[in-house]
Amino acid sequence: MSDKHATLTLNNESIDCPVLDGSLGQSVIDIKPVPKTQHFTFDPGFGATAACESGITFIDGQQGILLHRGYPIDQLAFDTDYMEVCYLLMHGDLPNADQKDQFIHMIKKHSNVHDQINRFFCGFRRDAHPMAIMVGVVGALSAFYHDSLDINNPELRELSAIRLVAKMPVLAAMSYKYSIGEPFMHPKHELSYAENFLNMMFGTPYDDTTKPDPVLSRAMDRIFTLHADHEQNASTSTVRVAGSTGANPFACISAGIGALWGPAHGGANEACLRMLQEIGSEDRISEYIAKAKDKNDPFRLMGFGHRVYKNYDPRAKVMQQTCHEVLDTVGCHDDPIFKLAMKLEKIALEDEYFVEKKLYPNVDFYSGITLNALGIPSNMFTVIFAIARTVGWISQWMEMMSDPNRRLARPRQLYTGPTQRDVSNISDR
């Protein structure tokens, strides 16, 4: 705590609010004394509210900085792999070689899903959106792993975390295989996390000998790293709110998957590719830029803008480079959608409206094109985001569960409904 204080004066009464300093970034005004004045604070969308203390991820949106446990995202993306990032988020520091081996061993050990979960899938329509399947099946894991549901036991919390990180790619690939009518694939111990995911997506039991191309599996791994955590975003806050009630971790992560699905959040990658396909050619860019600027048109440039970044999203820079590498490898560098995206980005970055509102490309602007080039169908894009973000969600959940100051999340409201009135007889209404 700093020795700074903020004073709120209301109807001649003053209350003193302590100012709390973090290790980086903005300080916060502790408004817990405010209800003593018989008022609440009002902050729809939580744009001015820090809901928790956290030591996991730091974002400086003005400078375009993203750090996980202090490490810059570009260094993590280029110099480590996703398993190391998972360990970092869960345990606070990067693993040494032995710790990494042991962690990977645990992930592999827990990657198989219970055989009865296969039957769960049969209950979904063949054309179900894979995110709908994920919301259901991940929540259903709580019915299978009773042995790790004691949320007050830190070792069992960690076991649930490992289970979730290990099983997410398997369940995700199953949701895809189910939709195309191919048999489910099992994870293979000799493959890495990203290789396994690609193999479970594209391999078949009759032909699973080909190891995915190293550039493509590296790109997949990097996509996982870039989406691993992002501070108190909408889905992470959902996980924390659900977790504050004492709900089990599988139910909390399922809630997070639901929140991620929306196009303002994780659904933007799918929506962005759809938008680029709809624009179709460079000569229609100005028409769509005009639509995005028109207050009477609900259209927004997908993959642009961010609640926190008022500068280039540092993940988007890495994503753009990864996109180039993937397109080179699959021989699609002249891909018209990629060219269109680069042109659209250039035009938007020079347009007064986007400059003035500080609307820069976010991670989803290039991730859709990259995933498309990897052969991933667009309805799986947000599922891939969910696989990657699971470690962030569960690390934030574990941090919250070990916080002695944890409280039930229960916001208040500004009531604008009818004042008290009496119920009349139905014949008089």
Residues that bind ligand CMC (CB under 6 A): 230, 233, 264-266, 268, 292, 300-307, 357, 359, 362-364
Q: Is 324 marked active-site?
A: no
Q: Which of 229, 265, 306, 313 is catalytic?
A: 306
The residue sitting closest to ligand CMC, measured at its beta carbon, is: 305
DSSP states of 26-73: --EE--TTGGGGT-----GGGTT------SSEEEETTTTEEEETTEEH
Q: Which of 221, 313, 351, 364 is catalytic?
A: 364
Cβ nearer to ligand CMC, comparing 308 with 398: 308
Distance from C-alpha of 270 to C-alpha of 380, rounded to nearest angstrom: 8
Query: Min. distance of Cβ 229 from ligand CMC in angstroms?
Result: 10
CB contact at 8 A, 377 and 130: no
CB contact at 8 A, 219 and 325: yes
Q: Nearest CA to 154 among 393, 409, 394, 388?
A: 394
Query: Min. distance of Cβ 138 from ligand CMC in angstroms?
Result: 19
5, β-bridge pairs: 18
CA angle 133, 225, 299 (to 5 degrees): 60
CB contact at 8 A, 324 and 341: no
Query: Min. distance of Cβ 144 from ligand CMC in angstroms?
Result: 29
CA distance readout (Å), 324 to 93, 134, 214, 217, 333: 31, 30, 15, 14, 7
Query: Min. distance of Cβ 102 from ligand CMC in angstroms?
Result: 31
Cβ nearer to ligand CMC, comparing 167 with 230: 230
Cβ nearer to ligand CMC, comparing 141 with 228: 228
Q: Is 189 marked active-site?
A: no
Cβ nearer to ligand CMC, comparing 362 with 390: 362
User: How many helices (H) and strands (E) are present in the chain, helices listed first?
Assistant: 17, 6
Cβ nearer to ligand CMC, comparing 261 with 338: 261
Query: Min. distance of Cβ 166 from ligand CMC in angstroms?
Result: 24
Question: Hey, is 253 helix, strand or coil?
Answer: helix
**Which residue type does 319 have?**
M
Q: Please identify every residue annotated as catalytic.
A: 306, 364
